[in-house]
Structure 1
Amino acid sequence: MAGIDLTGLSTVYPNGVRAVDDLSLTVADGEFFALLGPSGCGKTTLLRTIAGLEQASSGSVGIGGADVTRVEPGRRRVAMVFQDYALFPHMTVAQNIAYPLRVRRASRQEQQEAATRTSAGLGLASLLDRRPAQLSGGQQQRVALARAIAMEADVLLLDEPLSNLDARLRLEARTFLKRLQRELGLTTVFVTHDQAEALALADRIAVMSEGRIRQLGSPKEVFQRPVDTFVANFIGSTPMNLLPGEVSGGLVEVAGARLKPPAGLDLPDGTPVTAGIRPEYLHLTSGDGITGTVSIVENLGVTSLVTLECPGPVLVGLTVAEQDEPAIGTTVTATPEPGRLLLYDGETTQLLGEAKVDT
């Protein structure tokens, strides 16, 4: 097994686009690491640069303590699973799985043994004679994983391997992938634009934008304490409320309400801020809070997302239990859980105050 060390890494395309911009990062041996960000943020280019499929313009790539920046892909002991799985349509499942060993000129017996051994652990033993066109999307994904595992690589790179699956199969594949990575103990870097996948799977997450890392931390850290409004807006199955406000008399005036700032944060009157409150951390109350008129109620299953029209005018979202849905047109008050209100600098968009995360 091996960790990954990236130092001052940049990847610049011939047209001048800096897809990866002076990025430094360490992925620990055996870690499940997610690169998360919107399309075009540089996450797939970074993954391909680690694999050697893109050439680094500057900086270095280290794997297992060795500098592999100028080492060809086939000698980096890295396995990659592509978004479209990249299976050979004319080969059987067994031949696809054994292909890396065939490239290494392993014997037919070694190839067959590797295909049999790897397929058994992934529920593919009965499919070895089929071709990719005869498989479901989930089965194709497992074949691609089996081929990667058969390489006996030190590092596994996954480029959005769940994006082509339907919602139910994606959830099953996510659970399977998490268990498989734990069993193998492989250092894994996982690229996704789906924050739910990153939060569910990763030990740590790097949120990327324009070739740089905006925030690096555990799933809890990036969810509970986004370092700026970009990360706050990107992370979460329901977007964080980001509300313009101002400090007055030691309180934060926002959406027609006066809220207590985070403990230990003393800002002068007139300071422009953006208040960040996750819908999950807002609750209907009869006390002080943000008051608004219910305009939309969206059913999410066991919970509902309620949108309030508040003074400003601004829209504020909160989640409620299905049995607590307020009627459209009613006036309600929502109060943040203690310690859940975040304040961002109104100009720099950076989080104000020290980060504190639940353990």
Structure 2
Amino acid sequence: MKKTAPPMIVDVARDGLRLCSSTSLEPILCKFDSSFVSDLEITNAQELFSRVKVFVEQKKIKPGNLVLILASSVYFEKDYPGPLPPTQETAEEFIDTVPFSATSSKIFKKGNSFKQVVINRDHYEALRHSFEDLGFKIAAVVPDFVLGSGSQGEFSAESCRLIYRKLDQIIADSIITQNDETSLHQKEQAFLEKHKILLALFSLLFIGGAVVMVAITLNSPPFKKSAPVKKVVTVTPVPKISPSPIPTPTPATPSAELISSYSVQVLNASGVSGQAASLSNLLKGAGFTKITTGNASTQTGKVIIVAKPSAATSAGEFVTKIVSSLYPEYSFRQESAATSDFVITITKPTP
């Protein structure tokens, strides 16, 4: 069996990337400039991709797994002293102070205290797409403090050597899990592959049923009208009967497996702390597991629900039912380019 090569290490800083490998510990630099990145905002994703592509080609780097080590300058952190981790509401309050619309957060145990780390999700996604479009795969994303004391300085060959010694622990501390990276397309393909025989059977039954109905309709004898019979009819008043209302069908609840496969991003644009945490708790209670929360610029109006078309078809009504239990006024639309299967923006109610 061919042995899998250890992943390459990429130090992510504001001024660029530094890459090393198990066979070449001395880092090589891919420098960033203001033409495509500013204050952790990727202003030109295509220019970033071009820069990474040139770097990979010039240095003759073969595609493989990558472990991203985040320098302290590219994430936000908060320490919580004491033996107990912060509550979700407390963690949410810190997330709300981070000036990005899309974030990912994780709480780390550090000695006798805890540390919360928040990253700009859009910044990470731009880097991920740049590398994955060239055949690489992100194995883990880790803040530099997990390497231990004295590691949060200049990234060097010694830093790279230390990372390889602690590689299993570092990967386990990743902010982004492998489940987060599973695309919706892959999940759909896996579902179709698993149930292709059943789907084919249903298709044949549907087609066969349609053919039978057409045949019955064509072969039925025409309806003949009988001659009218004259008779005296005594009219008696008939009590008026009001038709019973037809109940509105309740949307079917998707399976627990399908619910847990969808990613949900909850953005707090209401200006009131804790709103995203409240909705996140409801979604978790309903079975969603891939939930990220963040903040956005304050907006006034209805709560906004944006869904990818495939997710909207199978779980759109289920999600809107959950949201409406907290926010009766909402709007719903589908967008193929949505950053998650469902993106829910909590707004400030119109006065």
What TM-score do the two structures reach when normalised by structure 2?
0.26
Flag the structure with larger Rg.
2
Task: Point out the structure with the larger strand share.
Answer: 1
What TM-score do the two structures reach when normalised by structure 1?
0.26
Task: Point out the structure with the larger helix share.
Answer: 2
